[in-house]
Amino acid sequence: MLSLQNVNAGYKGIDVIYNISFSLKEGENLCILGPNGCGKTTLIRAISGLIPHEGSIKIDGIDINKMKRADVAAKIAVLSQISTIYFSYSIYETVLLGRYLHMKGRTFKEPSSKDKEYTDKCLKAVGLYSIRNKQINELSGGQLQRVYLARTLAQEPDIILLDEPTNHLDLKHQAELIDFLRDWSKYEGHSVIGVMHDLNLAIKLSDKVLVLDKGRMATYGKATDVFSSNLLNQVYDMNITEYMVDSLRIWENFDHHLKMGKLRKVN
């Protein structure tokens, strides 16, 4: 469905990522990992067409440079991070905007009844249908991220790109978002490509993992293989395994104290 061959991209003529090659089949999810500044966001921006690239990025065998902007947007959608809201819209209006590409009319675009039905479907999928007339500037971060998710789904893309989508979200909402996206890709046969810092979330979402180190591919493979290697320790320049095991130990300790009655559970 998506394949990259020797892709270089960057800003103002200076490449930030070099020789990136990988391919994704329908229904496969990919997580891009790596330390700050390794080029994760640049890679996502290149795939979405926001910055120019060298090499080839193909969707269903067609180079995105040879596709019209609207055709690329019909295939690839980007779930944005939560940012400042300058002008408020209702939840429904916001999600309906995701249908922009599908709306009829060359000059005056108007949503059809199909667009409205699809918007309702997306709102129901993320559980916001009952509050669809609420203004988005009255929502919590978690709710707002779900609005943007519904808008991204309304675009009917084959691939959703995520750039640190769980920023500003608490643990519960992070897990909910990742679960939702995993199910979406599994049942609809689509793909999710995400930049994430949280390794736990990454492993929950992805079938494949691409690790970047200073703009180059350090490894690419099945999530289970990559997470068992020592490569992560090397790329992040810390002992990741020990860090994870330490965390587990804290949790075990916590459970132990709870059982011994040293900690009081607050309901």
The interface region with other proteins, picked from 22-30, 102-110, 205-213, 216-224 by CB under 8 A, is: 102-110
**How many residues at the interface with other proteins, by CB under 8 A?**
31
Does position 14 interact with other proteins (CB under 8 A)? The reply is: no
Does position 87 interact with other proteins (CB under 8 A)? The reply is: yes
Does position 100 interact with other proteins (CB under 8 A)? The reply is: yes
Q: Which of 21, 54, 65, 109 binds other proteins (CB under 8 A)?
A: 109
Does position 226 interact with other proteins (CB under 8 A)? The reply is: no
Closest of 90, 121, 119 to residue 103, by C-alpha = 119
Does position 131 interact with other proteins (CB under 8 A)? The reply is: no
Q: Are strands 76-79 and 159-163 parallel, antiparallel or unpaired?
A: parallel
What Å distances lie between residue 5 and 59, 61, 73, 210, CA to CA? 12, 12, 20, 14
User: If you write DSSP's letter for every residue of 26-93 in order, what string do you get?
Assistant: TT--EEEE-STTSSHHHHHHHHHTSS-EEEEEEETTEEGGGS-HHHHHHHEEEEPPP---SS--BHHH
Q: Which of 41, 48, 174, 185 binds other proteins (CB under 8 A)?
A: 48
Q: Which of 15, 19, 35, 49 binds other proteins (CB under 8 A)?
A: 49
Give the residue ranges of DSSP H helices in 64-205: 69-75, 91-96, 113-125, 141-154, 171-188, 199-205
Question: Under 8 Å CB-to-CB from 204, ≥6 apart: which residues?
Answer: 175, 178, 179, 182
Residue whose CB is less far from other proteins, 162 or 223? 162
Does position 165 interact with other proteins (CB under 8 A)? The reply is: no
- State the binding string over 141-160 for other proteins (x if CB under 8 A, else -): --------------x-----
82-91: b (≥16 Cβ within 10 Å) or e: beeeeeeebb
Q: Is 203 helix (H, G, I), strand (E, B) or coil?
A: helix
132, 119 contact by CB (below 8 A): no
Q: Is 215 helix (H, G, I), strand (E, B) or coil?
A: coil
Residue whose CB is less far from other proteins, 90 or 200? 90
Residue whose CB is less far from other proteins, 100 or 180? 100
Residue 55 phi, psi dihedral angles, 5° rounding: 90, -165
The interface region with other proteins, picked from 32-40, 82-90, 173-181, 242-250 by CB under 8 A, is: 82-90
| Residues of this chain, 166-195, that bind other proteins according to CB under 8 A | none
Does position 103 interact with other proteins (CB under 8 A)? The reply is: yes
Q: Which of 21, 65, 83, 253 binds other proteins (CB under 8 A)?
A: 83
Residue ranges binding other proteins (CB under 8 A): 48-50, 69-70, 72-74, 76-78, 80, 83, 86-90, 93-94, 97-98, 100-101, 103, 107-109, 135, 155, 161
